[in-house]
Amino acid sequence: MTSRDLIAPLAVAAVFCVIPFLGLDGALLNLLIFMMIIALAAQGWNILGGFGGLASFGHAAFFGTGAYATAILQTKAGLGAWPSLALGVALGAAVGAFIGFLSFRSGLRGSYFALITLAFAEVLRIASNSAEITGGAAGILIRLDYGFWNLQFEDRRWFAVLAVICVGLSLVLVRWMERARFGARLIAVRENEEAAKALGVDVFRVKMGAITLSAAVTGLAGALYAQNYLFLDAQVAYGSWISIEALFAAIVGGLGTLFGPLIGAVVLLGVGEITKSLAGGVPGVDLVVFGALLILTVAFAPGGLSGLAQRLGFKGGRA
Amino acid sequence: MLTATGLTKRFSGLVAVDDASLTAEEGAITGLIGPNGAGKTTLFAMASGFLKPDAGSVTFAGADVTATPPHLRAEAGMARTFQIVQPFAGLSVRENIAVGAFLRTPSRAEALARAEAVGTRVGLGPMLDRAASGLTVAGRKRLELARALATEPKLLLLDEVLAGLNPSEIRDILPVIRAIRDEGVTILMIEHIMQAVMNLCGKVYVLSQGRMIAEGPPARVCEDPHVIEAYLGQGAAARMRADAAGGATHA
């Protein structure tokens, strides 16, 4: 990776860093933070599902683990917010490695792999809904206490900046991956496992690397979520909503592209928000729009929005 | 370089390869021929580690590799091509070859440079930046060869790289294969095109219904009655002899 490769991701991150200071009101600032969290979760999904071709229906397992670990370590173990966040990411990655080890060792692919991940996420959701350590059905609250070391900011613009920085880091990570041997091997495994093996690629190891990285990034999204809303329950942490939003954003934005998940998250949530404000109180109307967008993408722009942009002659996206 | 001893593979009731042995001498081109369904590709799959033999062993460069998975055999210097070509369809030709080159270098720049060199050598120079999915059959066969070569193998297992090519394409690629051998790469090839086998191979093995029925220099093997019968049916050798004798009396 050369320094030129970093220009695009850093420039995009810098632009998003400025947005909170453009005089957004509270609701728009919240929307921006939420977009960044979804973009991060979707980037995690994209590493495994987009670059690796291993579509998961259970990224909630990593998101929820990152979220719960961050919350529990602070409230029950008395750890600081920053180390809790770091451990949350590590534990998310560990859950990824565990699920990956079991699935890939037995050679699961395609819909079988997708269903296994869904099953793990559901088991975690049900277990955390009754376990004592997660606060059961009542959920878990992180005490409100502003301060940098508590990762809570009275001025929410700073939390938005933090979320943007995390998205920026994920962009740099994925750009590195695209340029590294690991990325080339991961794409080779996606395109043709047998041929990859013949060329000396250790397929199992590559997939393990992909799911661990993927889970770490999505775990970070969960940790930020917990820190932003200061409240978690099983439905929020391990619910299938996040698995679906992560894969929606990645697919609509463009599978296996650097900026796809970010574009997808911004467009989906932006359109969802606009519909909600237009349609007033009709519940679930934004989900209808999500579905329509997904169908349109798959039918008319298989490369997602960044693939479409490229076809129309813009540079970027898949650089 | 490569020795297979007593390899056997059964697919439920069917014995695909039955107690077959062969040796690929270092620095030579060895051929493996036989009628359709003889088990040549199955034998190849066992040699390269894609299938586990039910019996027998494979040694490569002096080490027993019978239980070694394919990617480690590739690392040790064994490369194979696939009869049914397996390109990474979503990648460019250059990127396809680079995946092979990455086996010997972690650097992207170096892998891409090597990919370009190898690609140009097998005649893919003008196609390097095209999508692999857009290649013709001949192009894909060359891509298989280029990817395998990019791993810098000691032994190259070629599974019908000439099948589906027209005579002029074959004429173009024969010198490439010979040049690879001249650089010290041992080659074991499955081939149907006898012109190529006669042209390239110092020694051929003939597999029929899973068994080795003949081995030796190609010219001698072609006259072996067992081989003729394997291809043309029982009694064919005797009929041909009779026809030849009959022809002589007419003359």
Its ipTM equals: 0.89
Q: Which helix (H) or strand (E) holds B205?
A: strand B203-208
Q: How far apart are CA A118 and CA B209, in angstroms?
A: 47
Test B86 with A188 for CB contact under 8 angstroms: no
Per the structure block, which two tokens stand in for B109?
A: 């720049």
Q: Which residues pair with B157 in a beta bridge?
A: B80, B188
Test B87 with A192 for CB contact under 8 angstroms: yes
Minimum distance, in Å, between the CA of residue A255 and any CA atom of chain B: 12
Q: Residue A256's closest chain B neighbor by CA? A: B90
Identity at A251, one-letter amino acid code: I
pLDDT score of B241 = 82
Task: Specify which of A190-194, A285-289, B240-244 reaches the highest per-range mean pLDDT.
Answer: A190-194
Q: Residue B51's closest chain A neighbor by CA? A: A194
Q: How far apart are CA A220 and CA A41, in angstroms?
A: 8
Looking at residues A17-38, what average pLDDT do you find? 94
Contacts of B70 in chain A (CB under 8 A): 197-198
CA A132 centroid distance within chain: 27
Q: How far apart are CA B183 and CA A217, in angstroms?
A: 47
Q: Give the whole-number percent of chain A exceeding pLDDT 70.
A: 98
B53-83 pLDDT per residue, tens? 999 999 999 999 999 999 999 999 999 999 9
Test B82 with A187 for CB contact under 8 angstroms: no
- HSE (side-chain half, CA atoms, 13 Å) at B30: 21
Interface of A with B in 179-198 (CB under 8 A): 179-181, 184-185, 187-188, 190-192, 194-198
Per the structure block, which two tokens stand in for B23?
A: 């040796």
Measuring CA to CA, which residue among A10, A233, A17 is closest to residue A138?
Answer: A233
Greatest Cα pair distance in chain B: 71
- Number of CB atoms found within 10 A of residue B106's CB: 10
Check CB contact of A199 with chain B, cutoff 8 Å.
Answer: yes
Mutate to test the interface with B, among A179, A186, A199 (most CBs of B within 10 A): A199
pLDDT score of A309 = 85
Minimum distance, in Å, between the CA of residue A175 and any CA atom of chain B: 13
pLDDT at residue A314 greater than cutoff 70: no
Q: Residue B81's closest chain A neighbor by CA? A: A198
Looking at residues A168-179, what average pLDDT do you find? 96
Pick from A179, A194, A199: which is nearest to B99 by CB?
A199
**Residue whose tokens read 């071709």:** A53
B99-115 pLDDT per residue, tens? 999 999 999 999 999 99
Listed in sequence order, the residues at least 6 apart from A194 whose beta carbon sits closer than 8 Å to its beta carbon are B50, B82, B86
Reported residue count of chain B is 251
Minimum distance, in Å, between the CA of residue B166 and any CA atom of chain A: 25
Minimum distance, in Å, between the CA of residue A190 and any CA atom of chain B: 8
Listed in sequence order, the residues at least 6 apart from A56 whose beta carbon sits closer than 8 Å to its beta carbon are A45, A48, A49, A113, A114, A117, A214, A243, A247
Pick from B80, B87, B95: which is nearest to A198 by CB?
B80
Q: Are B52 and B13 in contact (CB under 8 A)?
A: no
Contacts of B103 in chain A (CB under 8 A): 199-201
pLDDT score of B248 = 57
Looking at residues A88-108, what average pLDDT do you find? 97
Q: What are phi and psi of B143, to 5 degrees?
A: -65, -45
Contacts of A194 in chain B (CB under 8 A): 50, 82, 86
pTM: 0.92
Test B71 with A181 for CB contact under 8 angstroms: no
The span from the first CA to the last CA of chain B, in angstroms, equals 50
**Residue whose tokens read 């609250």:** A141
Q: How far apart are CA B73 and CA A22, in angstroms?
A: 58
Test B71 with A202 for CB contact under 8 angstroms: yes
Looking at residues B153-159, what average pLDDT do you find? 96
Q: Which residues pair with A59 in a beta bridge?
A: none
Strands (DSSP E) along B95-202, which ranges?
155-159, 186-190
pLDDT at residue A316 greater than cutoff 70: no
A234-283 pLDDT per residue, tens? 999 999 999 999 999 999 999 999 999 999 999 999 998 888 888 877 78
pLDDT score of B73 = 96
Q: How far apart are CA A85 and CA A77, in angstroms?
A: 13
What b/e string do you get for A42-75 counting C-beta neighbours within 10 Å, with b at 16 or more?
Answer: bbbbbbbbbbbbbbbbbbbbbbbbbbbbbbbbbe
Measuring CA to CA, which residue among A44, A118, A55, A220 is closest to residue A126?
Answer: A118
**Inter-axis angle of helices B137-150 and B167-182, nearest 10:** 10
Contacts of B148 in chain A (CB under 8 A): 198-199
Contacts of A195 in chain B (CB under 8 A): 82, 86-88, 147
Q: Are A170 and A7 in contact (CB under 8 A)?
A: no
Q: Which residues pair with B22 in a beta bridge?
A: B4
Q: Are A166 and A190 in contact (CB under 8 A)?
A: no
Q: Are A70 and A225 in contact (CB under 8 A)?
A: no
Test A184 with B69 for CB contact under 8 angstroms: no
SS3 A155: coil
Check CB contact of A175 with chain B, cutoff 8 Å.
Answer: no
Minimum distance, in Å, between the CA of residue A2 and any CA atom of chain B: 10
pLDDT at residue B128 greater than cutoff 60: yes
Q: Which helix (H) or strand (E) holds A47?
A: none
Minimum distance, in Å, between the CA of residue B152 and any CA atom of chain A: 10
Listed in sequence order, the residues at least 6 apart from A162 whose beta carbon sits closer than 8 Å to its beta carbon are A151, A153, A224
pLDDT score of A282 = 79
Contacts of B48 in chain A (CB under 8 A): 198
Minimum distance, in Å, between the CA of residue B223 and any CA atom of chain A: 36
Q: Are B78 and B186 in contact (CB under 8 A)?
A: no
pLDDT score of A319 = 41
Of A18-22, A302-306, B69-73, the one with minimum mean pLDDT is A302-306
pLDDT score of A311 = 81
pLDDT at residue A1 greater than cutoff 80: no
Per the structure block, which two tokens stand in for B4?
A: 């297979």
